[in-house]
Structure 1
Amino acid sequence: MEASEKKINEILTENKIYEIPPYQRPYSWEKSHARELIEDICQAYQRNDPEYFIGSIITIEKERNRRYEVVDGQQRLTTLNIIFAVMKQLITHPSSVEDIQKRIMPVNPYTDEPEQPRLIVRKQDQAFFQKYILMGEDISSAQEMSETQAKFYDNMLEIKQVVSEFSEVELRRLVNYILEHVYVVFVVTDNFTSAYRLFNVLNARGMSLSNGDLLKNRLFEYCESKPLERSRVEECWNELENIVGIRQLDNFLSHLRTSIKGNKQQEILYQEFDEILEEYKEAPARFAEFLLRSAHHYEKIMENDFDNHLKTQKLISSLHRVAHDEWIPPVLAFLNKPVPDMEFADFVELMEKITYQNWVRRLGKTKRNTVYYQVINLINKGCSADELIETVKKYADNKEFEQLIRADIYHSPAVKAILLRLEQESQDQSVVKQFHGRITVEHILPQKLKDEYWIQRFTPDVHQELVHKLGNLTLLSGVKNSAAQYYSFDRKKEIYEKRNKKVSFDLTKEILEEKEWTKDQILSRQERLVKKAMEIWSL
């Protein structure tokens, strides 16, 4: 290994090529990172600092003194290329433009055709980076940009905004300052293992490493002497990132880890995956393929993508309304390893029942997770449907659940989700209705007795007994109208009818058909809704 301080002039020079390997995360610097880098450099230039360091670049030398694989530092190296691309756009002096062009994207002097760029980014982004960033062609001709390509472009605009205050003379001096006075620690190794160790230590200005980054690098480390495996891992990982999204990758891995181990996370997520990976050490592509299959299943869960399975869609939609996402790992475990004698929809129904029971019962996270861990471990051991159902039933409490549903349910964090689920159940079962926009929980009998209509029909004691019960609650679309909530029943119905046109709730339509709203109406509706809730969630 060699480490030395190098000027940017020695880094971006015509005899060196840098490649971003497929195991690296895509370019991910936000505009704030790009702005910080160029502003820091500009301030150092204005102070006339003799030296300004911007961090380290760790490489594997692939061809002596010429071709390097960038293991760490791609964020700043890519941004440096974008900075020079911006300078080329703003400077008109021919020899300066020619020099900058050579440093980022050489052009054949006889054919005017671009040659190989100094920096080769990931395959799927290379054409965009070369054409619209390095060559500066009109972006309007580009197709829809990926997330990474948008970052290239946004950061180019951000950098341009910062340096546009400089005159052309100052810009040329700034370019010279960057080339001659800005330094990096340039580390050259001859193999992936050495570079990988440094990669985890020297991550100066770059974004902190995610668990996904570390897992990916470990996978590629296992592929070092297996080119075919490496190609398959690259293919799987790129598709996985496209499916899950880079920002959601760690969430996916956390859920997947739980779906495999069926217990509370004991160590750093990456370290736990390191243990799981041990059994795939000789065949890392098999693990990459497992990750990809799991990513497809995870996407189906998150997007509720279960076409032609209306029962499953309804149940997953209901689970997504829960205030926690601890139900995802057992569902993912089932999709990865189905229970042979159990339909997926029946399993999801089982999960919805226990999830809502424990949510309404306000169990703490540890108690809630106990049943999920049990379910995961049973699935992974190859259990039967009966074993699964009997185990889940042990953690249910139908009696307590019914008592809570009958009580002042308005104060439960689950109240809106319960009403929406009851609404779903009352609708045509041949479709799954999706609810969008702002939805509020409405007291039909108001929380305060102000209007004469209510004062005549409810004593303070009866009002206190019934006001927060399920039978007195309904759903409305839009923002809560604080003035209207105390109106008489007839005036309330006028508001309900108007508001209900936006999102048609059957629960609210039922109210519109009532001529009066009295104790009897509330108790009758209470019994009907509690009975329906128990049909849905009892175990």
Structure 2
Amino acid sequence: DEVVKLFEEKFLLIHIITTNVDDAHKLFTVLNDRGMTLTEGELLKAYTIGLCDNSTQCIAQISSDWDIILQHPPKKVSDFLRWIIIMISGENVTTSSVLQKYKESYFPEKTSPIDISNKVKFMRICVERLQYISEGEWPYDESHVTTNWHKGKLDLLIRKLKHTHAMPVLLAASFTHEKEFQNLVNETCKFFIRYKAISALHASIFSSLYPALAQEIHQLKDRFTIKLVYPKFNEILCSKDPDNNYFITGIRNLRYQRKGDNKLLKCLLVTIEENWQWLNSGSTSCESRLKLEDKTRVFDFNNTTLEHLYPYSVGENEREENVEKIKNTIGNIVILDMTRNTKNDDKSFSQKKDNFINTGIGIHQYILEKTEWNEQDINELTERYIGYACKVFSFK
């Protein structure tokens, strides 16, 4: 009697009848037996199994693949599913419309159990790759083709620059030849650094550019080459910044910050250095730039420092007020390894100049030609950097 009384007083049973599967799914998005909202992944799992009737073998495989997918945190699963359907559909899909898009484009009601099983298996493979890529980790097995330089570019793009808009494109490219994946990561780094990070142009362009590009790469698979991407990047730059004005202004506005990571300054100067041979080769093509790019040195962000040519801290007797105002601009800065930078400390230009000998860094040859470092020299180096950057960060 006490047990019956407890149930009568403490529990409420609601019986709701739905007439179709869609209504049932809508109901499940509101409540389930745990009193929590169901995720897109859980709903898709139920939906795909529901389409399989009594095909026991297919249901077992589908359930197994979904279990692997759903072992990741819900937020990650939500992102993964959205990036996958963007790649497949070629359309920008919002978080709220992911479930409906899968049902319309990928799992229509008349899909056979075998096809559903194969499609869920492909999703599981995509999730496994996205788990690597989203952490900035290389999605291919170890090979002699890929070096730490290539891996560093992916880490830069995803973890440091946090350019997750590109995830559907990177996912699609991970099914192509590894060499083309390398090229895509590298050139997408350049495009993002120029277009968004430095030029500060609106990110909405990624929502129209990347979905269609991801779908095209996905359909081409091993037939994809980086040549497909260049005209697309170039078209956007010609449309949004035809005279390089936004890019040039962005470069001029870069400032060294003593307590900052100075990420954009390092990105710009390191990329120029990596392409130093190409800049001095007389070639202008993107293909030759890729071939000549120096991939033998990995500029670790933590150990690559920024050196002030006119010192950051200057004694009162040596201060030049006109230079003090511009000492943190790009024209007064070069990249330098940590050991040499530490030796330079806050020495004057003439005292530190010998530390730029035999560094292997191209711009240092220009610095060694100078006998002093003043406002005019800073302005000249600024223009030189701008000229280099407009060549290196182009896709013509």
Decide: shared fold, TM above 0.5. Answer: yes
Distance 1:342 1:430 in 2: 16
> What is the aligned partner in structure 2 of residue 262 from structure 1?
90
Cα displacement (A) at 1:249: 0.7
Change (3 A) 1:365 1:312: same
Of 186, 199, 202, the match for 1:361: 199
- Is structure 2 residue 263 aligned with structure 1 residue 403? no
* TM-score of the two chains, using structure 2 as the length reference: 0.65
Write out aligned runs for 1:104-123 (5 A). none
Amino acid in the other structure paired with 2:263: K
Q: Give per-residue Cα distances to partners, 1:74-121, cap 9 Å, x unaligned.
A: xxxxxxxxxxxxxxxxxxxxxxxxxxxxxxxxxxxxxxxxxxxxxxxx
Of 150, 164, 178, the match for 1:325: 164
Change (3 A) 1:201 1:326: closer
Write out aligned runs for 1:59-78 (5 A). none
Structure 1: 5+ residue runs without aligned partners? 1-6, 11-49, 54-180, 478-486, 498-505
Distance 1:433 1:199 in 2: 51
Q: Give per-residue Cα distances to partners, 1:184-232, cap 9 Å, x unaligned.
A: 638799xx96976653443376332222222222122223422111111
Distance 2:212 2:317 in 1: 53
Cα displacement (A) at 1:435: 4.3
What is the RMSD of the two structures over their aligned residues, measured on CA atoms? 4.9
- Is structure 2 residue 39 aligned with structure 1 residue 210? yes
Cα displacement (A) at 1:245: 4.1
Aligned length: 338
| 3-state SS of paired residue (2:168) | helix
> What is the aligned partner in structure 2 of residue 232 from structure 1?
61
Write out aligned runs for 1:443-462 (5 A). 451-453=315-317, 455=319, 458-460=320-322, 462=323
Contact 1:51 1:182 in 2 (8 A): yes
> What is the aligned partner in structure 1 of residue 277 from structure 2?
none
| 3-state SS of paired residue (2:107) | helix
Q: Give per-residue Cα distances to partners, 1:317-351, cap 9 Å, x unaligned.
A: 22122254212221212224x3x898222222332
* TM-score of the two chains, using structure 1 as the length reference: 0.50
Change (3 A) 1:240 1:429: same
Change (3 A) 1:444 1:406: same
> What is the aligned partner in structure 1 of residue 393 from structure 2?
537
| 3-state SS of paired residue (1:203) | coil
- Is structure 2 residue 111 aligned with structure 1 residue 281? yes
Distance 1:374 1:468 in 2: 41
Contact 2:172 2:215 in 1 (8 A): no
Structure 2: 5+ residue runs without aligned partners? 275-293, 338-344, 356-360
- Is structure 2 residue 164 aligned with structure 1 residue 334? no
> What is the aligned partner in structure 2 of residue 220 from structure 1?
49
| 3-state SS of paired residue (1:362) | coil
| 3-state SS of paired residue (2:70) | helix
> What is the aligned partner in structure 2 of residue 32 from structure 1?
none
Distance 1:370 1:333 in 2: 16
Distance 1:434 1:237 in 2: 38
Amino acid in the other structure paired with 1:452: E
Contact 1:297 1:332 in 2 (8 A): yes
Amino acid in the other structure paired with 1:379: I
> What is the aligned partner in structure 1 of residue 282 from structure 2?
none
> What is the aligned partner in structure 2 of residue 471 from structure 1?
331
Distance 1:433 1:214 in 2: 45
Amino acid in the other structure paired with 2:181: F
User: What percent of counterpart residues are identical?
Assistant: 17
Q: Give per-residue Cα distances to partners, 1:15-73, cap 9 Å, x unaligned.
A: xxxxxxxxxxxxxxxxxxxxxxxxxxxxxxxxxxx8689xxxxxxxxxxxxxxxxxxxx
Contact 2:39 2:74 in 1 (8 A): no
Q: Give per-residue Cα distances to partners, 1:127-148, cap 9 Å, x unaligned.
A: xxxxxxxxxxxxxxxxxxxxxx
Of 342, 347, 354, the match for 2:184: 347
Distance 2:387 2:162 in 1: 24
> What is the aligned partner in structure 2 of residue 40 from structure 1?
none
**Structure with bigger gyration radius:** 1
| 3-state SS of paired residue (2:13) | strand
| 3-state SS of paired residue (1:327) | helix
Write out aligned runs for 1:171-186 (5 A). 182-183=10-11, 185=13
Cα displacement (A) at 1:525: 5.2
Change (3 A) 1:225 1:426: same
Kindly indicate which of the two structures has a greater share of residues assigned to strand. 1
Change (3 A) 1:205 1:373: closer
Distance 1:250 1:351 in 2: 24
